[in-house]
Amino acid sequence: MAAERLAVTVRGTVQGVGFRPFVFRLATRHSLAGWVRNSTGPVEIEVEGDPAGLRRFLAQLTAEAPPLAAIEEVRTAAVPARGERGFLIERSRPEPGDFQPVAPDAATCDDCVRELFDPGDRRFRYPFVNCTNCGPRFTIIESLPYDRPATTMRGFRMCEACQREYDDPLDRRFHAQPNACWDCGPRLSAPLETAVAALRAGLVVAVKGLGGYQLACDARDEDAVARLRRRKRRPAKPFAVLVADPSPYCEAPAEELALLRGPARPIVLLRSRGGLAPSLAPGLLELGVMLPATPLHHLLLRDFGGPLVMTSGNLSEEPICRDDGEAGERLAGVADVFLGHDRPIAARYDDSVVRWAAGAARVVRRARGLAPAPLELPPGPPAVATGAHLKAAFTVARDGHAFVGPHVGDLDELLTVQSYGESLARCERMFHVEPSVVACDLHPDYASTRAAEALGDPVRVQHHHAHVASVMAEHGLAGPVCGVALDGVGLGPDGTVWGGEVLVCDRRGYERVAHLAPVPLPGGDRCAREGWRMAAAYGLEEPPEGVDPGRYAAVLRLARSGRAPVTTSAGRLFDAVASALGVCHVSTYEGEAAARLEAVAEPGPAPPIDVELEDSGLLFAELVARRRAGEPAARLAAVFHASLAAAVVRACRRTGLGVVALSGGCFQNRLLLETCFTGLRAAGLEPYANERVPANDGGLSLGQVLVATCGG
């Protein structure tokens, strides 16, 4: 039978994942001739041979793709046969204006871990071992296509042994751009033994990871953890823990274990069993746990022999330190010992955070291992959306792809604003996005709004519409949907602070159909930290135990004066209830009161108080009355969650819509989310919530870009 030839283009995340060597091996297996090459757009293939072999090649191209590849589209076209022999991997060919999705960094694979601890292997204990199935990607790429000269590895010339691996299509390091070894690759700045000895002495060690510095100490040593808290100015916000095995310290069902062990290696929130320093996650039932994601972390953990606190290398509210000079300056008063290395970092990259809730993995913070993997959007013009002020993350979009950038943080500090701008500019360059549409929040004073204004005349998307739209974007919902957005703060078009909203939404617009009762914000933004102020706003006559009576009386007068701004915020309702029940009066980090209220809630079903969303004041009053009558705070915390969820379900049923989209930071509360899902399904409704982007403001830009590019 005469040979046939096909031109094949493969779009998706197919660079930096071993795709070209995979194609080479597949073509060789089926005795096919031709070539494969990268471009700044798709991977391009021409393949020639027996028609049956071509059919098998195409079937296996998607079925057996490398583990880090994400194929979105394969196109084929017949072209004239050339009578070639052999299959080649050609040099990359950039195409002006085209782009290629970039693979996130991936955790060290099992093969590389075996080499790392094999005394007979030439990479034994080499802290930067990697291959095409694992290792740095996004954090070393400076431009596309993804070839070594376009990465921060360009300064490390491969030795003969590494070059042979790199050039061998049958080797798993074929075209592994970060390929290196002891003879030719990056080196640590200090002996590993020095860092391990410091950790054993209860000291704090700054460790240079994939996307910046992390701060480590002994997770079993309460004095060491307390020292790190003082120096980092982080009195209560939970610390994550790096472990070899989570089972001694946490409950880890199969779903959570799969998340922990996946290539992203995020921090996963697990129910704690104790056995570690009490102040790791004060007042909470869950602990953030991660497994080692890099060879250096494997070595550090193995040599130390126990669990380690591993938290962002920064002072609270600042961006993570990226290079040695920056770390030496900003972490000088925090770390006792520095463990750096000489491989430059192209992009700051914090650890991702994920929790399992309502039957799915749900991202809390999207960064290492997850960003900037693309999400699908309806086709639209090139666009940039800048997110909000808290948990800032932008989205750049083109050709039906949305690239949600890595978590940056709250835009309160100049350093964070600068980091945000650098990260946005980098992703615009990397994905060749010159936006014809720019989107931002309604709030005129956000740094993210100013960033949007610097790019053009932005489409200003209402905060809670954007939250709901982020769920619509993730799940491909055209609408209309019943959207429920519960969070701390978002400017409404009426100039008041919204945050407890039921909206009828599509991609273009929304109608507000229900909301929590409007209450004053006595003290404005201070209410987000001093939750006892919200107890006064909701009408609690006597100060909660531990709150200064004089200050409380003054705030109560302000709340009743009519001079305070007004809010319908669900986050502030959580604050009020937490204070009234004696759970938390002052939050030291965003959402602390709500997290503690969830943690203290009595497990099991709780009978809800029968109120509507608009009657949230009555709900608060009933909880206070029952607490005064002696009912335990734990039971009332459970009743509060059940009552709020029941009110949400009733409001959704009244819209007459069958699809419900839940978003906003309050839905990171597992108890609230799962109770809402159960109630909505029992009512015959179909609930959706964020999964791949956070329900908090870290996912807001995805919703903004959907609304703005669909005529918003």
Q: Quote the pLDDT of residue 96.
A: 64
Give yes or no for a contact between 240 and 351, defined as CB atoms under 8 angstroms apart: yes
Q: Quote the pLDDT of residue 40.
A: 67
Q: Quote the pLDDT of residue 94.
A: 66
Q: Which residue has the higher pLDDT, 323 or 594?
A: 594
Could you say which of 89, 107, 124 is where a domain stops? 89
**E strand or H helix that includes residue 700:** helix 700-709
Distance CA 355, CA 503 (A): 26
211 plus 346 within the same structural domain: yes
74 plus 200 within the same structural domain: no
> Domain for residue 683, yes or no?
no
CATH assignment of the domain containing 33: 3.30.70.100
Q: Which backbone phi and psi does 120 adopt, to 5 degrees?
A: -90, -5
Q: Quote the pLDDT of residue 103.
A: 82
At 315, the pLDDT band (50, 70, 90 cuts) reads confident
Q: Quote the pLDDT of residue 380.
A: 92
At 57, the pLDDT band (50, 70, 90 cuts) reads very high
Could you say which of 89, 107, 131 is where a domain stops? 89
Q: Quote the pLDDT of residue 397.
A: 96
Rounded mean pLDDT, 382-403: 95
Does residue 1 register a pLDDT over 70? no
Q: Quote the pLDDT of residue 129.
A: 98
Give yes or no for a contact between 602 and 634, defined as CB atoms under 8 angstroms apart: yes
> Domain for residue 27, yes or no?
yes
Domains held by the chain: number = 2
Strand-pair partners of 395: 385, 404
> Domain for residue 204, yes or no?
yes
**E strand or H helix that includes residue 385:** strand 383-385
Distance CA 396, CA 373 (A): 12
337 plus 205 within the same structural domain: yes
CATH assignment of the domain containing 305: 3.90.870.10
> Domain for residue 529, yes or no?
no
Does residue 89 register a pLDDT over 90? no
Q: Quote the pLDDT of residue 520.
A: 97
Question: Each residue of 130-146: pLDDT tens digit?
Answer: 999 999 999 999 987 78
Distance CA 102, CA 374 (A): 8
| Vertex 470 angle, CA 469 and 476, to 5° | 80
Q: Quote the pLDDT of residue 647.
A: 98
Nearest to 624 by CA among 522, 519, 513, 541: 541
Name which of 59-68, 449-458, 572-581 the model is least confident about: 59-68
Q: Quote the pLDDT of residue 694.
A: 98
Distance CA 28, CA 338 (A): 48
Distance CA 574, CA 667 (A): 12
Distance CA 182, CA 129 (A): 9
Question: Each residue of 237-248: pLDDT tens digit?
Answer: 999 999 999 999
Three-state SS at 8: strand
Rounded mean pLDDT, 104-122: 97
At 91, the pLDDT band (50, 70, 90 cuts) reads confident
Range of the domain at 213: 192-354
Residues 6+ apart with CB under 8 A from 46: 5, 6, 7, 8, 34, 35, 79
Question: Each residue of 254-287: pLDDT tens digit?
Answer: 999 999 999 999 999 999 999 999 999 999 999 9
Does residue 303 register a pLDDT over 90? yes
Q: Quote the pLDDT of residue 42.
A: 83
Joined together, the tokens standing for residue 46 give 């021409």
Rounded mean pLDDT, 299-305: 98
Distance CA 705, CA 341 (A): 38
Q: Quote the pLDDT of residue 41.
A: 72
At 83, the pLDDT band (50, 70, 90 cuts) reads confident
> Domain for residue 400, yes or no?
no
Rounded mean pLDDT, 632-641: 98
Rounded mean pLDDT, 463-489: 97
Question: Each residue of 556-593: pLDDT tens digit?
Answer: 999 999 999 999 999 999 999 999 999 999 999 999 99
Query: CA separation (Å) from 94 to 37, 156, 698?
Result: 10, 23, 32
Joined together, the tokens standing for residue 463 give 């905060």
Does residue 208 register a pLDDT over 70? yes
Fill in the amino acid letter for 132. Answer: T
Three-state SS at 441: strand
**E strand or H helix that includes residue 705:** helix 700-709
Does residue 711 register a pLDDT over 70? no
> Domain for residue 22, yes or no?
yes
Predicted TM-score (pTM) of this structure = 0.93
> Domain for residue 649, yes or no?
no
Q: Quote the pLDDT of residue 175.
A: 87
Question: Each residue of 169-204: pLDDT tens digit?
Answer: 889 998 899 999 999 999 999 999 999 999 999 999
Q: Quote the pLDDT of residue 248.
A: 96
58 plus 200 within the same structural domain: no
Does residue 712 register a pLDDT over 60? no
Rounded mean pLDDT, 476-492: 96
At 98, the pLDDT band (50, 70, 90 cuts) reads low
340 plus 198 within the same structural domain: yes
At 318, the pLDDT band (50, 70, 90 cuts) reads confident
> Domain for residue 300, yes or no?
yes
Q: Quote the pLDDT of residue 69.
A: 87
Average pLDDT of the chain, as a whole number: 94
Three-state SS at 546: coil
Does residue 93 register a pLDDT over 80? no
pLDDT above 90 as % of the chain: 88
Rounded mean pLDDT, 449-464: 97
At 381, the pLDDT band (50, 70, 90 cuts) reads very high
Question: Each residue of 327-350: pLDDT tens digit?
Answer: 999 999 999 999 999 999 999 999
Could you say which of 56, 89, 122 is where a domain stops? 89
